[in-house]
Amino acid sequence: MLRIITLTTDFGAIDGYVASMKGVILNINPQAVIVDLSHSIEPQFVRQASFILHTSWRFFPEGSIHIAVVDPGVGSHRKAVILKTPSAYFVGPDNGIFSYVLHELAQTHVSQNVPSTTDLKKRLLPEGCEAVALSNQEFWRHPVSSTFHGRDIFAPAAAHLSMDVSLSEFGESLDSLFAFPIPEPFTDPAGNVVGCIVHIDRFGNLITNFKKEHVPPKGAAVEIRNQRISSMNRIYAEGGGLQALIGSNDYLEISIKDGNAASLLGATVGDTLKLLNAANL
């Protein structure tokens, strides 16, 4: 049965971990179409995996299955789960890796300060979503390694799911999953909109949590690490210094032509920045 299965991991390309997962999938469903979403997630960086998954999954056909394995707690008591949304399936550990997916499907978002990187809490599933624990060992590969659930639990579960095994057969139903809070921009007492860096791409561009709708139609001045960017650009090739622009995922980015903005500024994920109130210019 033809079904798309994507893989997002921190396994890299040196070892055979990714290939092993693909082999397990193809033994169960030889017709599966396997797409490598990313295997360059920084080791154990669950938040990065969650963001990358969030910016990519919606471009796949409806019903695609997305395996995400960045799993520092592999072999512990954390659950292995399948999350079903109105248009896709997600398979992975219940460790916050689906936080951005749950956030984007929620009806309301609350402006908040930058959260702790370890602030995981149970979050009720958004309307129209279902989840199950992967507790039925019939759909596991045996024997199960305590250190490689990607190969022995997540890959076979996704493959069986691609063969139209019903969600209820995999295990007990869940009404919530663990998620970390997603930082939303907020307004400070001076009227500036405060946000943060949520991702740094391989070019050193700083991806912020300011979305297109946060930026006034005529642009805005941006302040980051004591540097002020006075106007917005349209493309990376404009300008000679730091620049702000709306990137392909509709997030405001800080970049520099032919350079690396992260290195130049010494910036890291979680750093704050501001869209300045006109009165403060």
116 pLDDT above the threshold of 70 = no
Domain boundary among 179, 212, 240: 179
Say yes or no: 74 and 195 in one domain.
no
Give the domain-ending residue among 158, 179, 200. 179
- Which range marks the domain in which residue 152 is found? 4-179
Report the chain's terminal Cα–Cα distance, integer Å. 59
Residue with tokens 């592999």: 74
In 3D, which of 3, 27, 6, 18 has the Cα closest to residue 150? 18
Q: Does residue 114 surpass a pLDDT of 70?
A: no
Q: Greater confidence, 54 or 230?
A: 54
If asked whether residues 119 and 32 sit together in one domain, one would say yes
Element spanning 254, H or E: strand 251-256
Of 143, 159, 179, which one is at a domain's C-terminal end?
179
Query: Are 49 and 161 in the same domain?
Result: yes
Between the CA of residue 169 and those of 5, 90, 95, 138, 165, what are the distances in Å? 19, 16, 22, 9, 7
Tens digit of each residue's pLDDT (9 = 90 or more) over 82-97: 999 999 999 999 999 9
pLDDT of residue 40: 96
Return d(Cα 12, Cα 265) in angstroms, integer.
27
Q: What is the pLDDT of residue 202?
A: 94
**What's residue 118's pLDDT?**
59
What are the φ and ψ backbone dihedral angles of 276, each rounded to 5 degrees?
-75, 135
Shared domain for 154 and 212, answered yes or no, is no
The mean pLDDT of 17-21, rounded to a whole number, is 98
pLDDT at 62: 96
Given a contact cutoff of 8 angstroms between Cβ atoms, the answer to whether 160 and 139 are in contact is: yes
Tell me how far CA of residue 41 lies from CA of 45, 79, 97, 202, 241, in angstroms: 7, 21, 12, 11, 28
Q: What's the whole-number mean pLDDT along residues 105-112?
A: 69
Query: Mean of the pLDDT values across residues 42-55?
Result: 96
| pLDDT tens for each residue of 174-232 | 999 999 999 999 999 988 999 999 999 999 999 999 998 888 777 789 999 989 998 78
Q: What is the mean pLDDT of the chain?
A: 92
Per DSSP, 234 falls in state S
Domain match, 190 and 139 both: no
**Same domain as 18, residue 152:** yes
Domain count, the chain: 2
- Read off the pLDDT of residues 22-46 as tens digits, 9 standing for 90 and up: 999 999 999 999 999 999 999 999 9
Say yes or no: 198 and 240 in one domain: yes
**Is 61 in the same domain as 162?**
yes
Tokens of residue 208, six digits: 């912020």
Q: Is 155 found in the same domain as 84?
A: yes
Which among 8, 13, 47, 7 is positioned nearest to 200, based on CA atoms?
47
Which distant-in-sequence residues (6+ apart) come within 8 Å of 16 by Cβ?
Answer: none
3-class DSSP state for residue 172?
coil
What CATH number does residue 119 fall under? 3.40.50.10790
Express each pLDDT in 135-188 by its tens digit.
999 999 999 999 999 999 999 999 999 999 999 999 999 999 999 999 999 999
pTM: predicted TM-score of the whole model, two decimal places: 0.92
256-261-262 Cα angle (round to 5): 170
